[in-house]
Structure 1
Amino acid sequence: MLRERVINGDDTLDVNYLEKGVLASKSVCRIHINSVNGLEGFGTGFLIAAHILITNNHVLPSSTYAEYSLAEFNFEIGTNDLPLSLKIFRFKPLKLFYTNEELDYSIIWVEEQAANGSGYLAEFNYLKLNPNLGKTKEGNYVSIIQHPDGKMKKVAIRQNEVTNLSLPKFIRYVTDTKSGSSGAPVFNDNWEVVAVHHAGIPRYNADEDRCKSNKSELY
């Protein structure tokens, strides 16, 4: 009789982990970055309260950018493998806009009614932020819901190891992200937000004699 094995620690989770992840993903949107000169790129953002969205400062650095830019929800593939109905919302920076260049985040008010027809912001969840420290630790794994390269919503799930918590105000971990992932929520196994995706930095791996991607996250 063959015996079962646990390889490098038990990595199993309750099956509701998947459903909770789907619920968390509803709050995540693509940021269509515009200025007075037109399209300048894409980023990711997510709702943290009714009408309030967070992303990076380098995604929306000023109220002027927020005024011209858009939040695009449902830019993803549904369970039938077809695109969902895109819901586009405008920002209202006169109502709320705050940015912090040092910590690289901006928070912005989002209008309630979709700008491209029917649809309301209340259809989408928001992620309650837990201000307490200790939501993750070195050696834990995190998951990131994002719009890499401005493409449809993707998830880099679990096998993304936290490598450094010693930096003030930042954490580091290894994962797969691309341009456009900036501003994405970073989750622990309880789908609590532990960071806002900030930037990628190179990490030299002497054993393989090449550079890997090690991501620096805003804590």
Structure 2
Amino acid sequence: MNIIELDDVWKIYRIGEVEVPALKGLSLKIKPGEFLALMGPSGSGKSTALNMIGCLDIPTRGRVFLEGQDIAALTELELSRIRGKKIGFVFQSHNLYPTLTALENVQLPMRIHEFSEAEIWDRSEELLQLVGLSGRANHYPSQLSGGQSQRVAIARALSTNPLLILADEPTGNLDTEAGKEVLDIFTELNAKNVTIAMITHDEKIAGRANKTVRMIDGKLAS
């Protein structure tokens, strides 16, 4: 079964009396174990597609399925809980809580989703070790480099053992070496069968994925 399927998805925004289509009949499937790169120039609809893949928005027309379930049939509360457990997000700007340590940032999603205390501690320490930051567990985001912060964000995204990791330009704010370290982690995770969808405009970064999809003007490029 596909993890995510977009079926003829349209997203139309209304600006005053003008309708602006951001997606124009986008159909896309993400299968378990894939590492997908979604590419396209600015204005191609990548960000709107990411919102659909991440179940952050409902299409104007068409359908989005998460594990075969039409997300339009879910209440906002149901969708929020399912999204929180089944999709891990890694953003360009890390989005760590500045008043929480690295360890506490990783633990937070598990606390929200009521994991046991033992599992929260075991898994968070294990994930920080996985991303090479066990020695930085008690550091706050202000005490971490950009690359280290992004690795904490990856550990946090993995904490609820999601079906899919969704990364939006994950190396966009990093220098070359830190960006390579982040991509190496994604490659290692995918080798362990973690499913990843990554938005990027960089051909070299997209080369790390095992499947590349290109968008233009709100639809897939032919």
Taking structure 1 as the reference length, what is the TM-score of the superposition?
A: 0.28
Question: Normalized per residue, which structure has more helix?
Answer: 2
TM-score by length of 2: 0.27
Higher relative contact order (CA 8 A, sep 6+): 2
Select the structure that is richer in strand.
1
